[in-house]
A and B are shown apart, each in its own frame.
Chain A
Amino acid sequence: MNQEIFEKVKGIVVDQLEVEADRVTPEASFANDLGADSLDTVELVMALEEEFDIEIPDEKAEQIDTVGKAVEHISEETGAAA
């Protein structure tokens, strides 16, 4: 996992969902572990798109349910090394 991207994602998640940083692990589920509801999730995806200057289609966004999957997808999209 690209550590630099993970740290950035973590910062956004902490900011968006108002959760403690140590809860934001690669395995953490946005809905089950970090308290995100459906609206939070949409806003989180928008914040990630903005930060990394990418577009995450809705079908893809629905599959991104953990912090790790977000980092993975962003790494692929931005061509960053894993």
Chain B
Amino acid sequence: MTNRQNKRVVITGLGAITPIGNNLAEYWDGLLQGRNGVGSVTLFDASKHACQIAAEVKDFDPHQYLDKKDAKRMDRFAQFGVCASKQAIADAKFVIDDLNADRVGVLIGTGVGGLKVMEDQNENLLTKGPRKVSPFTIPMMISNMAAGLTAIHTGAKGPNSCTVTACAAGSHAIGDAFRLVQGGYADAMICGGAEAAVTPLSFAGFCSAKALSTRNDAPQNASRPFDRDRDGFVMGEGSGILFLEELEHALSRGAKIYAEIVGYGMTCDAYHMTSPVPGGQGAAKAIELALADGEITPDEVDYINAHGTSTQANDSNETQAIKKALGHRAKEIVVSSTKSMTGHLLGGSGGIEAVATVMAIQHNKVPPTINLANPDDECDLDYIANSSREHQVNVALSNSFGFGGHNVTLAFKKYG
């Protein structure tokens, strides 16, 4: 699968707007401190919902990045995506101009897109009639608009698209962007995921599917991946963006290099709409493909940022998948679910978790899985329980799995 003529691709910029920090430095500090982003829902009245807790982004001010009219014409998910993209470009110290614009692209995934706008306008439709539905309904709702608006607000005119693969969308976006740079179709890609699904319909739907934790009286204990008392995921929101750049391009301008992206594996369970296939074969295969793509052996892997949703089905299945793919090394590799702190950002999760994984490589520190009091019998790996660690990280993986049976693994390596 690997073509040795492929161009090498590095990460030269990072952006993050998350429930535990609204920029890269705050987010990384939050991860290392084990900061808990979960609380009661404030974005809507959740008093009639079975789940009343979420990991919301706090004190986010889009006007730091956008003028008032532009911000008003964006759903919250697009605001997160555009603003995190601006952070990543600034962090890369890259200037998009007339000469390079065609060679810089955007690929931002999302699970549900502008659900808030759709719900509000549907209310208008039902209560006031079709003539009262905003002309901005469709452009603000459609899932590709974080990518489209990022191009509008940064001038990036290269390849532009959007992955919509539920909770795997952010990782698919990064993987597909990696392929575009690797194949020479772009010199740089702004990529990741964005989500803002703390809305009444989203909560009602996920509650009916019994996917969300209902630990309403103890929100800070609700997201507890790999723990035997886990009872579902906690909805998060935000965006994580990587600035990927072709290696020679980055070197020629003296860019700071965080890490190299070397592998991308993707499969589908072909099994069930929401449940992972028992035994985790599909996820294991995605891990194996990412390793093969990056020419990495299990012996080289140091850290895995797990999908780790805190649902019954995911955490034991993912543990089995890691064991299947990495054999005896599974027990030595450290694994954590940063969703224990950030909640689950659906399509945004692959973005912020890739950021966490790259930072782990950069700093040789691994973020913890908090709320891990009593590991499930079926979850018997080293999950970096409750506090971060110094740990040499040369090679790290990030897993994302989505409704629909999508499995994605990304592989990153220390540059040098």
Contact = CB atoms under 8 A, between A and B. Distances in A.
B25 to A, nearest CB: 31
Interface string A42-65: 110010001000010000000000
Interface in B119-145: 131-132, 134-136, 139
Contact of A43 (B67, B68, B131, B136): B136
A12 interface: no
A18 B69 contact: yes
Nearest to B138: A39
B72 interface: yes
User: For this complex, into which size category does the number of interface residues on chain A fall?
Assistant: 10 to 19
Contacts of B67: 18
A46 B134 contact: yes
Contacts of A17: 69
Contacts of B68: 18
Q: How large is the interface on B (under 10, 10 to 19, 20 to 34, 35 or more residues)?
A: 10 to 19
B134 A43 contact: yes
A39 B72 contact: no
B139 A18 contact: no
Contacts of B131: 46, 55
A39 B136 contact: yes
A42 B139 CA distance: 14
B139 A39 contact: yes
Interface of A: 17-18, 35, 38-39, 42-43, 46, 50, 55
Ranked nearest first, the 8 interchain pairs of A and B with the lowest CB-CB distance are A18-B69, A42-B135, A39-B135, A18-B68, A43-B135, A39-B136, A43-B134, A46-B132
Given A18-B67, A46-B135, 8 more contacts: A18-B72, A35-B69, A38-B135, A39-B139, A42-B135, A43-B136, A46-B134, A50-B132
